C-alpha cells in the first residue's frame, strides 16, 4: 500500500488541487464507466450527479436514489467526494434550496452511501474517497486499500485525505 503526502492550497473544488487532479488522471482516465454522485464542477467521471442544478452534472438527484438506480456490481469505479461535515451538508443543501433531514446529517447517512457504493462497484473495481479521514469503505465492505494521498494545506486547515480502494470480495 502506497502513502504519499503532497501540499496544496485549500480549494472547495477538491478535484482542482494539483496532487488530487494528478491522482484522478492516473485512475479515472477518460472517465468511462466511472460514476460520481457528488460531482460538483470538476469531476472526470462520465456519469455525474449533483444535488445542485448549477453544477456540471447530467442529473440533480440526492446521492442515495441516484446510486440505487445502478445494478449491483455494474460499475468500474465511483468517486465519493461528499460534504465532509454536518455543517457542510447543511450549507450545500441550502445552496440547492433544500434542508437536510436529521438523518442526512448523521453518520448513518454516510454509512448508507458507502454501503450502496460498495454494492454497485464490480469486483476489481475502484472507489476513491475524499474527506478528513482515511476510513474509505473498508475491509468489512469487501475492499482492500491500495493507495492513500494526504494533502496538507497549512495553518489550521484539515488535510484532505484521499483513499483508493479495490473491491476484492462480495459482502
Ligand atoms: C465537496 S463538493 C464536490 C466537489 C467536486 N469533487 C469538485 O472538485 O468539483 C460536494 C458536492 O456534493 C453536492 N451534494 C451535497 N449533498 C448532496 C446529496 N445529498 N446528493 C447529491 N449531491 C450532494 C454539493 O452540491 C457539492 O457540489
**If you measure from the C-alpha of residue 124 to the centroid of ligand 1, how many angstroms do you get, rounded to a whole number?**
26
User: Cα–chain-centroid distance for residue 88?
Assistant: 14
> Does residue 41's CB lie within 6 angstroms of at least one atom of ligand 1?
yes
Count structural domains, the chain.
1
Residue with cell 503526502: 5
**If you measure from the C-alpha of residue 39 to the centroid of ligand 1, how many angstroms do you get, rounded to a whole number?**
6
Kindly give the residue spans of alpha helices, DSSP state H, lying in the chain.
Answer: 18-28, 63-68, 86-95, 107-120
Render pLDDT for 75-84 as a digit per residue (tens, 0 to 9): 999 999 999 9
**If you measure from the C-alpha of residue 83 to the centroid of ligand 1, how many angstroms do you get, rounded to a whole number?**
6
User: Range of 7's domain?
Assistant: 2-167
Render pLDDT for 15-24 as a digit per residue (tens, 0 to 9): 999 999 999 9
Number of H helices, E strands in the chain: 4, 7
Name residues whose C-beta falls within 8 Å of residue 111's C-beta, 6 or more positions apart in sequence: none
The model's pTM: 0.98
CATH of the domain at 43: 3.40.50.150
**Residue whose CB lies within 8 A of the most ligand 1 atoms, among 11, 24, 28, 38, for a mutation test:** 38
Handedness of CA 101, 104, 105, 106 (dihedral sign): positive
The answer, yes or no, to whether residue 59 has pLDDT greater than 80, is: yes
Amino acid at each position: 500500500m502506497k502513502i504519499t503526502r503532497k501540499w496544496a492550497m485549500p480549494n472547495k473544488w477538491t478535484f482542482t488541487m494539483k496532487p488530487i487532479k494528478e491522482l484522478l488522471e492516473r485512475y479515472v482516465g477518460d472517465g468511462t464507466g466511472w460514476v460520481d454522485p457528488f460531482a460538483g464542477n470538476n469531476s472526470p467521471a462520465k456519469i455525474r450527479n449533483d444535488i445542485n442544478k448549477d453544477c456540471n452534472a447530467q442529473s440533480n438527484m440526492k446521492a442515495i436514489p441516484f446510486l440505487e438506480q445502478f445494478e449491483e456490481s455494474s460499475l468500474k469505479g465511483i468517486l465519493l467526494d461528499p460534504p465532509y461535515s454536518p455543517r457542510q451538508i447543511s450549507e450545500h443543501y441550502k445552496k440547492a434550496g433544500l434542508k437536510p433531514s436529521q438523518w442526512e446529517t448523521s453518520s448513518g447517512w454516510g454509512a448508507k452511501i458507502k454501503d450502496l457504493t460498495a454494492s454497485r462497484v464490480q469486483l476489481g473495481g475502484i472507489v476513491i474517497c475524499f474527506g478528513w479521514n482515511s476510513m474509505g469503505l473498508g475491509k468489512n465492505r469487501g475492499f482492500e486499500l491500495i493507495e492513500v494521498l494526504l494533502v496538507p494545506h497549512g495553518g489550521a486547515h484539515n488535510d484532505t485525505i484521499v483513499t483508493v480502494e479495490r473491491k476484492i470480495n462480495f459482502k
